[in-house]
Structure 1
């Protein structure tokens, strides 16, 4: 058994695609219409294009429990998921210059990790993590 795809709920797939590709640097991988204006829309890391896919899932628009969960996480300031990076400081500087809004600036936790949390503009906080 292996993990090949994860999903991140987004409220606007096109806006999410632009953010995840233009700001975060992911590559569009799959884009297939599903009907009703929805798409099977995935992105992959430019550093590992054959690796894990992220599905930009429009569930909050069609499944109320997903929207409630997403709202609750954001209200509590809890990240939906995390992305590992080589340098949180470098990513923070790069993304800040691109206009990405951070909820938490880079911080060290327990001398083992550095992290920062940003808003993906699509209903989620995402945490960046660097192992120290």
Structure 2
């Protein structure tokens, strides 16, 4: 058994696709219409194009927005992405206008930073040391 898909709830699929590809650097894998309003959109890491796909899932379910708001209010990231160098990614993304709620912070065997994905989520980037 292995993970093939992971979802993130987004408030605007077009905005999410632009942020996750143009800013974070993921690559669009699927973009399929699903009715009049939504699409099946997945992005992948350019480092692993056949790896886990991140689904940019519409947050239209009544429970989605309160759930997302509660996590953001408590400063809890919804997902975590591994990066080779958190400090370098922090600098690169900050120059692109990405807002961080937590700058790079060393926490034992990891360095983390937390960013706002502009679609209602906090995302952690993490560098594993050792």
TM-score by length of 2: 0.97
1:32 counterpart = 2:29? no
Match of 2:67 in 1: 69
Over 2 Å off, 4+ runs: none
Match of 2:95 in 1: 97
Number of residues paired by the alignment? 129
Structure 2: tracts of 5 or more residues without a match = none
Q: Deviations over 1:73-125 (max 9, x none)?
A: 01111000100111000100110111100000001012x11000000000000
Match of 1:55 in 2: 55
> What SS is found at the alignment partner of 1:129?
strand
CA distance in 1, matches of 2:91, 2:47: 19
The Cα shift of 1:131 comes to 0.9
The Cα shift of 1:3 comes to 0.8
Q: Over aligned residue pairs, what C-alpha RMSD do you find?
A: 0.7
Higher helix share: 1
The Cα shift of 1:36 comes to 2.8
1:120 counterpart = 2:101? no
Match of 1:22 in 2: 22
